[in-house]
Amino acid sequence: MSLQILVSGATGAVGRTILEAIESDEHLAVAGEATRRQFFEPDVDADVIIDFSHPELLERVVHFASRRRIPLVTGTTALGERLQAQIYEAAERVAVCQAANFSIGVNLLVRLAYQATRALGEDFDIEILEAHHRRKLDAPSGTALWLGDAVARARGQKLTECAVYDRSQHRSARTRGEIGFQAIRGGDVAGEHTVYFLADGERLELSHRASDRRVFARGALLAARRIIDESAGLIDFSDLVLKSA
């Protein structure tokens, strides 16, 4: 029996990559697709939903997954507090694996950035740089915000209280403890993230570069295979893919 997968965002760049991956694996099958214009059939039967779409579509998908108790893997970014709360609510009824980045390398990068921040202390200024393709709607990327949250937590700070997204509107020097974000958009960049640790006389850079969207599809499919047997709750993708270190 093949794993029956509902693909949300099926016409998107990642959605199409997921469809290709499913088609090339005899143990996987597409149970249905959702896009801006089309939603899953009410009576469709499936083992799992994979979503890389847009918050407006994801909101419908979350309610569908919760109502039908179908496990959900989602990578959509820039959700907002209300939709995020709906995801937490859905996770009380069904298994949900949500990650801003389904590449293994980025999941390790987040842990390394946390450890580096703890080890280096507050004399190192932290800046996060990300680069993505010209079509990307949100900035900074979900991954950049995830990295920002990790380094802020490592310092006992809240990201909302120390993030700086735009320096163009104030003429002042950098303050201690700030976490700065910069976003580059252009071409077909699949996704690049660097955390800079900058001190007097030295600089450490932790970087990850995705060169192919298949890494995200591979990660999401791995999560899909793993969560079908899980009971309700939030499943941490990092815990699924990283060996303990």
Ligand X SMILES: O=C(O)C1=N[C@H](C(=O)O)C[C@H](O)C1
Q: Could you give the residue numbers annotated as active site?
A: 132, 136
Binding mask 132-151 for ligand X (x = CB under 6 A): x---x----xxx--------
Instruction: Report the nearest approach of ligand X to the CB of residue 204 (Å).
Output: 21
Q: How many C-beta neighbours within 10 Å does residue 69 have?
A: 11
One of 6, 57, 97, 163 touching ligand NDP (CB under 6 A): 57
Dist CA 62 CA 69 (whole Å)? 10
Task: Using CB positions, name the residue nearest to ligand NDP.
Answer: 12
- Establish if 77 lies at the interface with ligand X (CB under 6 A): yes
Task: Using CB positions, name the residue nearest to ligand X.
Answer: 191
Instruction: Report the nearest approach of ligand X to the CB of residue 187 (Å).
Output: 12
Stretch that binds ligand NDP, among 10-18, 22-30, 194-202, 227-235 (CB under 6 A): 10-18
Residue 15: name its binding partner from ligand X, ligand NDP, none (Cβ under 5 to 8 Å by kind).
ligand NDP
Q: How many C-beta neighbours within 10 Å does residue 227 have?
A: 22
Dist CA 150 CA 138 (whole Å)? 20
Environment class of residue 188 by beta-carbon count within 10 Å: exposed (0-12), middle (13-18) or buried (19+)? exposed
Backbone angles phi, psi at 8, to 5 degrees: -100, 130
Residues in the chain: 245
Q: How many C-beta neighbours within 10 Å does residue 207 have?
A: 12
Q: How many residues at the interface with ligand X, by CB under 6 A?
A: 9
What does the CA dihedral 49, 51, 54, 55 come to, rounded to 10 degrees? 60
Question: Would you state the structure tokens that stand for residue 87, as one six-digit string?
Answer: 């995801």
Instruction: Report the nearest approach of ligand X to the CB of residue 105 (Å).
Output: 11
What residues form the annotated binding site for (S)-2,3,4,5-tetrahydrodipicolinate? Answer: 133, 142-143
Q: Rule CB under 6 A: which residues touch ligand NDP?
A: 9-15, 35-37, 52-54, 56-57, 75-77, 99-102, 135, 142, 216
